């Protein structure tokens, strides 16, 4: 009986090791663990090279929370969900494992993106010397694929990362690319809330030399006579333009246009919808400077 039990446990152990042997692990060795930092007022990134796989990147964009993503030469993971755990490295074995749940896996060069909370947890674990590990079935086999992030040399760049984050702009291009300023009935007066939004535009434009054109468009709702609405939309556009110029934006970058009640954002049927149409919009463009044209020609062309 003892011999049979011994043989049973031996077979079980061999089976476990056989299954483990089918796990393909991508990880940088201790000597090969490298981290690289990239800093600017627009974004901060910490990149970790993973031999034969690609890289893992902590990415912090201005105006956005921290994210982590894997970038693969060719994604070996099957689409679905990968298990994400924080575990001790092989050279410091321990039983402490933190389960962070599952993350989606897609078929692209960036198959895995981790949301802000877990990205922050991953960064904290690397500071503790622990290894974030992703596990998912392989694309063309039943074996498992493991991708591990090595903490060696991470601490050397962490303070530089924090310094970069402290200098990030409060907004990014997408957040100010199109800014809407709303007005009260029959008014062309900027509120404190409006000024905060426009100040973010000013801050960004001054920081990003690639912004080549700014279009300011004035609008009204459908109430009132057409001639009056056109004059009011002109005042709304010009008050925004003047604020931009007064706060250091070059006038030659700005094209000011006004359209009266034409081109409503939404229907004018309700009070709330009319409120959304009493507006000026600020639109930023990058690249070659767009040619200027008169407000009347723009309105007739129907372009915004």
Mean pLDDT (whole number) for 164-173: 97
Bigger pLDDT: 303 or 219?
Answer: 219
**pLDDT tens digit sequence for 113-125:** 999 999 999 999 9
Largest CA distance in the chain: 102
**pLDDT tens digit sequence for 20-35:** 446 799 999 999 999 9
Confidence of residue 292 (pLDDT cuts 50, 70, 90): low
User: What is the C-alpha separation between 151 and 128, in angstroms, rounded?
Assistant: 8
Closest by CA to 77, choosing from 58, 59, 94, 102, is 102
Instruction: Measure the CA dihedral 92/96/100/103, to 10°.
Output: 40
How would you write 192-219 as a 3-class SS string? HHHHHHHHHHHHHHHHCCCEEEEEEEEC
- Predicted pLDDT of residue 92: 79
27 CB contacts (<8 Å, ≥6 apart)?
A: 50, 51, 131, 146, 147, 148, 150
Q: How big is the chain, counted in residues? A: 304
Q: Is the pLDDT of residue 19 over 50?
A: no
Q: Is the pLDDT of residue 68 over 70?
A: yes
Q: Is the pLDDT of residue 94 over 90?
A: no
**Coil/strand/helix, residue 176:** helix
H helices of 247-287, in order, are 271-277
Mean pLDDT (whole number) for 257-265: 91
Mean pLDDT (whole number) for 81-107: 90
155-166 and 116-127 helices, crossing angle to 10°: 140
User: What is the C-alpha separation between 281 and 262, in angstroms, rounded?
Assistant: 14
| Inter-residue contact 283 to 237 (CB < 8 Å) | no
Share the mean pLDDT of the chain: 88
Q: Is the pLDDT of residue 295 over 70?
A: no
Closest by CA to 153, choosing from 134, 125, 126, is 126
Q: Which of 8-17, 67-76, 219-228, 275-284 has the lowest mean pLDDT?
A: 8-17
Q: Which of 2-16, 150-164, 250-264 has the lowest mean pLDDT?
A: 2-16
* % the chain with pLDDT above 90: 74
156 CB contacts (<8 Å, ≥6 apart)?
A: 35
User: What is the C-alpha separation between 277 and 265, in angstroms, rounded?
Assistant: 6
Q: Is the pLDDT of residue 197 over 80?
A: yes
Task: Name 86's bridge partners.
Answer: 98, 132
Q: Which of 85-94, 142-151, 169-178 has the lowest mean pLDDT?
A: 85-94
Classify residue 185 by its DSSP letter: T
H helices of 155-191, in order, are 155-166, 173-176
- Predicted pLDDT of residue 290: 61
Confidence of residue 89 (pLDDT cuts 50, 70, 90): confident
């Amino acid at each position: 009986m003892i011999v049979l039990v011994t043989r049973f446990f031996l077979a079980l152990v061999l089976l476990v090791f056989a299954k483990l042997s089918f796990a393909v692990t991508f990880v940088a060795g201790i000597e090969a663990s490298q981290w690289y930092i990239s800093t600017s007022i627009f974004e901060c990134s910490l990149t970790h090279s993973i031999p034969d796989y690609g890289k893992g990147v902590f990415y912090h964009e201005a105006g956005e929370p921290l994210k982590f993503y894997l970038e693969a030469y060719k994604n070996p993971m099957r689409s679905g969900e990968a298990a994400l755990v924080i575990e001790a490295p092989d050279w410091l074995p321990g039983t402490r494992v933190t389960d962070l749940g599952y993350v989606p896996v897609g078929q692209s060069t960036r198959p895995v993106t981790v949301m802000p909370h877990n990205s922050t947890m991953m960064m904290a674990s690397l500071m503790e010397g622990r290894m974030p590990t992703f596990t998912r079935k392989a694309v063309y086999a039943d074996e498992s694929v493991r991708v591990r992030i090595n903490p060696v040399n991470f601490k050397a760049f962490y303070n530089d990362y924090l310094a970069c984050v402290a200098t990030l702009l409060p907004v990014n291009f997408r957040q100010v690319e199109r800014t809407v300023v709303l007005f009260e009935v029959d008014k062309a007066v900027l509120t404190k809330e409006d000024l905060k939004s426009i100040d973010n535009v000013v801050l960004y434009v001054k920081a990003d030399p690639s912004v080549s054109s700014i279009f300011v468009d004035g609008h009204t709702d459908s109430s009132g006579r057409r001639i009056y609405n056109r004059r009011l939309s002109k005042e709304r556009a010009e008050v925004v333009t003047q604020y931009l110029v007064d706060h250091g934006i070059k006038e030659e970058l700005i094209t000011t246009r006004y359209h009266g009640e034409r081109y409503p954002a939404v229907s004018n049927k309700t009070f709330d919808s009319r409120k959304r149409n009493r507006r000026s919009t600020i639109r930023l463009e990058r690249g070659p400077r767009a040619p200027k044209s008169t407000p009347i020609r723009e309105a007739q062309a129907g372009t915004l």
